[in-house]
Structure 1
Amino acid sequence: METLIFNNKKYEVDKLQFLLDPLKWDEDFANAIANEQKIQLTENHWVIINYIRERYLRTNTCPTIFELCKHNHITLDYLKSLFPFGYHRSACKIAGVTYIDGLINHHYMDKVIKTNKPYNPDKTYIIDCFGFLFDPSEWDESFALNKAIEMKMPHLLTDRHWEIIYYLRDKFEKTNQIPTIYQLIEDMDMVLVELEELFPDGYHRGAVKLAGLRI
């Protein structure tokens, strides 16, 4: 846990500067994070920020990028023009929320683990309380298949799913970073609606989780 100070106000954040308690958010925090990302917040930015916060406070869940684009009738390119560092790493961070489901004080997540048995009865995985794999090097296809069943994905994993999963893992192994959704869409020559059809739970809660990665 770290403490950021803006305008003589203290904000507790995690190591990636995500606000630990969304209820402590205010516009000073948003402007400060935006300034660090060299983003000048306009009315168009605030439409997105306010939507994310309203949805989060009403449902205790961060909206997926699919939901946000549909509700606000915007394209991915338009969102990228507003928040170039990514939906999660920019828009959600500025809005004071995270993609993690149903959690306010999410700084406790790393302390809660359980084991999960995949198809291979001799293999167990250490995951956090949201099902994200702790150690990406422990990932294998059985983990992804098990998660796909857990998510009740209608077609389980097709060749196209595996292309996305291995793209994410390859990028992570080369750069030690998870690609933004903008990068994935461009590199894989796809459109947002295709990604939603493949991973209806969302980019991070779906594709990234299946690839054994997490922010």
Structure 2
Amino acid sequence: MITSPPALPPQSRTSLSVLGAFGFLVALVLGLWYAGTSGTTGPDAVLYSVFDRAEGLARQWAIVIDFAGEPVGAVVVFLALGLACLLFRRPRTAILMVVSCGVTIALTTGLKPLTGRLIHGEFLSFPSGHTAFLVTVAAVTGLLVIDVRGLGPRAGAWVLAGLVVLAGLAMGWSQVVLRAHYPTDVLAGLGVALAVLPPTGRLIDRLTTP
């Protein structure tokens, strides 16, 4: 068994559970609503009108952010966070990162053909795997910061929510302006990531506790 701080810091379990429940509901409702559809309607049409296609420097930034969710970029991000976990002697957090990212990627990949939502008439788009991956990494980073810094419940909740929102907005913006996903695909990807983390963390702590 592993003798180290838990994957889920005790002071963050409540806030993470709330985020997880919210994420599950968002992904479920959007999945049922948009299954088998294509095209921009409702919220997607409104948000598309706000976020025009990126040009020039903005497009370059969108491509850089998008790269973090591509295979090579994801490996770089993955290894960087994994190294940080090991440097701070948080092996359970490293395990959480590996397992939660794996489950999140598997779910977003598997949900695409189940929902059958198409973008550009041929590409399965729901939910956004890029967004789900980066939000998962951001949330695990938040848990690492909370644990290492010994933050209390309130400060920890702000750190966790802040990093999740920042990652979701950054990757979500890139996917929308690059027209790789509908805005609601992005929200669903964020929801899947948040829904996966709490049960995964609890399972890891249970299986690795002496």
Taking structure 1 as the reference length, the TM-score comes to: 0.27
Report the structure, 1 or 2, having the larger helix content: 2
Taking structure 2 as the reference length, the TM-score comes to: 0.28
Report the structure, 1 or 2, having the larger strand content: 1
Q: Which has the higher contact order (CA 8 A, sep 6+)?
A: 2
